[in-house]
Structure 1
């Protein structure tokens, strides 16, 4: 192909350098809600760095729809929840936005509503359809494949669902908002505010099999069988736009999950630690549930490395994750029996734990014998020490699960109860939940609180959970990347989570979790004979309410933080396109969404670079962006559908016409540029001509294409897109 002339290169140089996203004319970032207050545009991290607002949704417009195609950021589902013995069906009409006085918010409604479905089950004796009863209806809303991010501080101001009205009879309410929530009956739902890697779509199991929750980038079959990981570091040619020899997956970060008297904050990663690095199983106890009360009789079953010498004598190495950091929820009332002092605990830990379980004098308040007990952020407070006797996070006794394909005979899976499924590639692996459960106060169900999460990728990174700016729990990267080892180094070394993660809001109900509705195998009231249960059931519907969500990131040069679902370091777009049937069904299609970001003027919805100053790519209509033509997309119509990732001039030209999942935008831009150049030349010549020639020129100008100076899409110049266009789902 002949090289482009220098003047044409000058027209396209900006697009080739900056790839596919341009700044808006107003300067508003693509994912930022213009209603976010001016004094909330920046944040100082726990390490003292200033991060800028890069995404927000203030939920100030009532009656929003999140059905596929209706919103720039969020998509609701119409689908039964098929995990964790769920009791609810997710529906579009269980979520929207509304305003109560001056407070506008997003909500998910959970209500009684029986649904009977015939669903396919691969894990029954003979795979086939099964009748399933769902006694509740709620919602799940995702930003999957629309908005993802790598690193930053996410803040969600939320009120959790619970029965806290005077009519509910909840005894916790009478003691005030700072009272610990203890009466589980009145908190029957399982709300979630969480993230998952974009390569797996929550509750679409075909997309998550062998994908969730991997954060692993090694090729060593002696340590972990690579066939269990769908995208393995052993694969030199994974295809679908993926990077060679890069292990990928869909790990999980839960800002908060659960209800009742505790909230869980966790990361979920794989592969999990082998059995020799996990707590001992309570073989001498009649009920395995003793691990959740820390009162097992089996030696070593109440926590890793407790007792210290016993574990060391049996294994010769440490167990589980080291150096986890826990701090108090000081919004709870203090209780003297939980109060600790640093000197006593530090001396006990140094000497070694001798009892079979932790108490306030022997271990960190988290009951984690390996917890970090150093100063918090250079202050006089210590990680792991409940110096005020308030609500304190506990190391979660749930440490993960074994995931097996149907009929798998691997030793991890035990004796199979069903036949193998020839249509499913076999897998058998352990995943790990690195988690703390922190006791919650009643106020979390009665008013809004700000739940925050800092996430920094890399070996020096961490994940920190906070409540109103106060730390609750932190996982340093070293805990994930440098686990204890035996002489054979058989414990897989995972990496700190670095996948592009999308956001999920949901409210679930289950028959197996600690927080569950009464009579979980039947409608809420059962036979109607229990007065307390009847009052609780009368409290439905219950609501998860979110006032706003905001994300801050390091935007300085060299920062690895991103706000895309398809970063070059961790591409996802082509993989999803090539496996689209695993990510959608007839009721939940991956719909192309263009524009729809909230705006105040049309300057919020069009590109603002001087080179493109006469190109209108979108406009503000009823406070939401509408994109011009067919090639401009993104929430503010400032992103192109073409894929421009060229390394030289010739490749740059080719890339403008190839590799696009929508109409090639650069052809339109070139036409616009040519028209602009010819117009400028014409104007110049017109100034030199006689009056008669000037009149003739004006007549000629009136005959030019109507949009010659404002071409907004390839369709404006006759370029048509493919019949099935999922393009913006993969940008």
Structure 2
């Protein structure tokens, strides 16, 4: 192919690919095929296409800039066109939006914020984690919206100190249930309370509200096979791990079940430290009813030194029904003697030792009846380790009874599983389900710790008796140290049961069903000592409970050994910390 000239190339190309007439001349008489008729040479140049840089096309002027020609047109016109306004408007909206998001909204929020009324609270009392009553849709706040305003504050039962309301439940909404997840603070249990040999099964459906009160109902069932082979069922609710408090006043307005003359029922409202869950045996072993923060023999099994029968007061003069042994406790599982590195909820002191932890118990009341005579309540607290002969220091100055005509020390002082400090008080005999039907206020007020600590119990809205910290002082006979008035975060329990452990049951006269009714439960704390919550920094529980969750959620695990967990090493044990 000749590349010297486009024309020559084109001519040579055409000649090398004959057209129809050329073909006729070369091959006379033969027709052209379709492919021959439309055949084109491979080079577009042979088709007459302008491929060289000097070839001009009609629209070349559009692509060739000319500064002198374009100067006028390029600088002509203005931006104030529809398109210009759209571009600028879009940018403006974006800028304003970002400014509003990152500057305007915070400024407006600060300038227009509303400071919530703490409704009579003081500092952090009013009361949630921010020191305010949460305004939650419905009635789910710590303080029940139905609580009357005049009940938001009160005076101490024994002095003029001001207390503020931190928790209340008026139970005014009928039809409430307490199945798991139904309520933010209360939960019914589904178990047999075997620890006290109860005759009933605690059933989730036996705790309800009606007529403006909580109702805990004890029934006899038609078929024991449908009720875990027990003939009775009743209700228990708890605030375990949902609401706890440390120090203050807890008050309940209650109509006791049954009659004031017929014994057998065992209604109670009480509190326990959050590290033990009532009805869940594994969680209670070695924690209930301890209130102890010393490292000595009081933390050891049976309150005796390893391999000995000492101190002698721990192996004699004890429980006459159990070989005169003082204690069958397995020892304090979470004691101040716990070896470093062992499982313990803490906290740890600066010297590397742990704070002794436990699940103490303080009862608002446990009700009983002296047959054909009168109804009474036991106003008590339970303790471990124990004094020799279960004799706490009940001398003048260590306790006080305010009305000796209706209140007296309980002759029952304990056994191998607990020591108790208790008084029996005559109730308002009209405030029973079958007698009068009124409600009476029961309460206790307490200050935790050692110095100036105390518990005061209240019967029918009047102080009944007080135990001071001195009543729980060091005991040289059993060789234990002083026990503090409970410092653990305490949760609330309300239940109606019955058991031969608590007294005689007159089945011939006892009327079932029987119902304990609770008009309200309220918790108050001093203005300068607000302390509620189940996981306080000085007595934490959350991490430990989560670590051993099954012990707190499976009532069929009755011991720590059955749970498959190791007992923390104790520096006073035979093995020590080795």
TM superposition score category, shorter chain reference:
0.5 to 0.7
Deviation digits for residues 556-591 of structure 1 (CA, Å, limit 9, x no counterpart): 2xx2x4110000111100110011111113999xxx
Q: 1:540 aligns with which of 512, 523, 535?
A: 512
Tell me which residue corresponds to 1:439: 426
Listed as ranges, the matches of 1:443-522 within 5 Å are 443-445=430-432, 446-458=437-449, 459-480=451-472, 482-486=473-477, 490-518=479-507
In 2, Cα distance between equivalents of 1:203 and 1:586 = 6
Tell me which residue corresponds to 1:82: 194
TM-aligned CA deviation for residue 485 of structure 1: 3.3
In 2, Cα distance between equivalents of 1:511 and 1:114 = 21
User: What is the TM-score normalised by the length of structure 1?
Assistant: 0.49
CA contact (8 A) 1:95 1:139 kept: yes
Q: 1:322 aligns with which of 382, 391, 394?
A: 394
In 1, Cα distance between equivalents of 2:497 and 2:276 = 19
In 1, Cα distance between equivalents of 2:479 and 2:295 = 13
In 2, Cα distance between equivalents of 1:468 and 1:442 = 10
Q: 1:371 to 1:566 in 2, by over 3 A?
A: closer
TM-aligned CA deviation for residue 114 of structure 1: 5.7
In 2, Cα distance between equivalents of 1:191 and 1:576 = 28
Tell me which residue corresponds to 1:551: 523
In 2, Cα distance between equivalents of 1:25 and 1:116 = 46
TM-aligned CA deviation for residue 115 of structure 1: 6.1
TM-aligned CA deviation for residue 436 of structure 1: 1.1
Deviation digits for residues 665-693 of structure 1 (CA, Å, limit 9, x no counterpart): xxxxxxxxxxxxxxxxxxxxxxxxxxxxx
CA contact (8 A) 1:110 1:136 kept: yes
Tell me which residue corresponds to 1:206: 282
Tell me which residue corresponds to 1:62: 174
In 1, Cα distance between equivalents of 2:344 and 2:399 = 42
SS at match of 2:194: coil
In 2, Cα distance between equivalents of 1:483 and 1:37 = 44
Deviation digits for residues 167-204 of structure 1 (CA, Å, limit 9, x no counterpart): xxxxxxxxxxxxxx4x3xx2421001000110000011
In 2, Cα distance between equivalents of 1:218 and 1:502 = 24
Deviation digits for residues 225-279 of structure 1 (CA, Å, limit 9, x no counterpart): 587111010123444652121111101011101321321110101111134xx4x
Listed as ranges, the matches of 1:667-682 within 5 Å are none
TM-aligned CA deviation for residue 394 of structure 1: 2.3
1:139 partnered with 2:235: yes
Q: 2:413 aligns with which of 399, 403, 409?
A: 399
How many positions carry a matched residue from both structures? 387
Tell me which residue corresponds to 1:35: 146
SS at match of 1:149: coil
Tell me which residue corresponds to 2:539: 570
Deviates further, 470-479 or 27-36: 27-36
User: What is the TM-score normalised by the length of structure 2?
Assistant: 0.62
In 2, Cα distance between equivalents of 1:495 and 1:79 = 32
CA contact (8 A) 2:298 2:385 kept: no
1:269 partnered with 2:383: yes
In 2, Cα distance between equivalents of 1:191 and 1:25 = 32
CA contact (8 A) 1:66 1:74 kept: yes
Tell me which residue corresponds to 2:363: 254
In 2, Cα distance between equivalents of 1:222 and 1:497 = 16
Q: 1:26 to 1:32 in 2, by over 3 A?
A: closer
SS at match of 1:549: strand
Listed as ranges, the matches of 1:218-237 within 5 Å are 218-221=294-297, 224=300, 228-235=331-338, 236-237=340-341
CA contact (8 A) 1:223 1:492 kept: no
Deviation digits for residues 23-67 of structure 1 (CA, Å, limit 9, x no counterpart): 558679951111111111101112211011110011111111100
Query: What's the C-alpha RMSD, in Å, of the aligned pairs?
Result: 3.0
Deviation digits for residues 78-108 of structure 1 (CA, Å, limit 9, x no counterpart): 1112122211010011111112xxxx11110
1:243 partnered with 2:347: yes
TM-aligned CA deviation for residue 150 of structure 1: 0.3
User: Structure 1, unaligned stretches of length 5 or more?
Assistant: 1-6, 12-17, 119-130, 164-180, 279-318, 326-369, 373-382, 404-430, 519-532, 589-731
In 2, Cα distance between equivalents of 1:466 and 1:222 = 31
CA contact (8 A) 1:394 1:436 kept: yes
Tell me which residue corresponds to 2:218: 110
SS at match of 2:364: strand
Q: 1:26 to 1:576 in 2, by over 3 A?
A: closer
Listed as ranges, the matches of 1:298-313 within 5 Å are none
CA contact (8 A) 2:334 2:344 kept: no
Listed as ranges, the matches of 1:89-238 within 5 Å are 89-99=201-211, 104-113=212-221, 116=224, 133-163=229-259, 181=260, 183=261, 186-221=262-297, 224=300, 228-235=331-338, 236-238=340-342
Listed as ranges, the matches of 1:408-427 within 5 Å are none
CA contact (8 A) 2:295 2:335 kept: yes
SS at match of 1:444: coil
TM-aligned CA deviation for residue 444 of structure 1: 2.6
In 1, Cα distance between equivalents of 2:416 and 2:296 = 20
SS at match of 1:83: helix
TM-aligned CA deviation for residue 140 of structure 1: 0.8
CA contact (8 A) 1:263 1:439 kept: yes
Deviation digits for residues 687-726 of structure 1 (CA, Å, limit 9, x no counterpart): xxxxxxxxxxxxxxxxxxxxxxxxxxxxxxxxxxxxxxxx
SS at match of 1:582: helix
Listed as ranges, the matches of 1:572-591 within 5 Å are 572-585=541-554
TM-aligned CA deviation for residue 155 of structure 1: 1.1
Q: 1:321 to 1:37 in 2, by over 3 A?
A: same
Q: 1:398 to 1:43 in 2, by over 3 A?
A: same
In 2, Cα distance between equivalents of 1:97 and 1:384 = 35
In 2, Cα distance between equivalents of 1:74 and 1:40 = 21
In 2, Cα distance between equivalents of 1:452 and 1:223 = 31
In 2, Cα distance between equivalents of 1:117 and 1:490 = 49
In 2, Cα distance between equivalents of 1:56 and 1:25 = 12
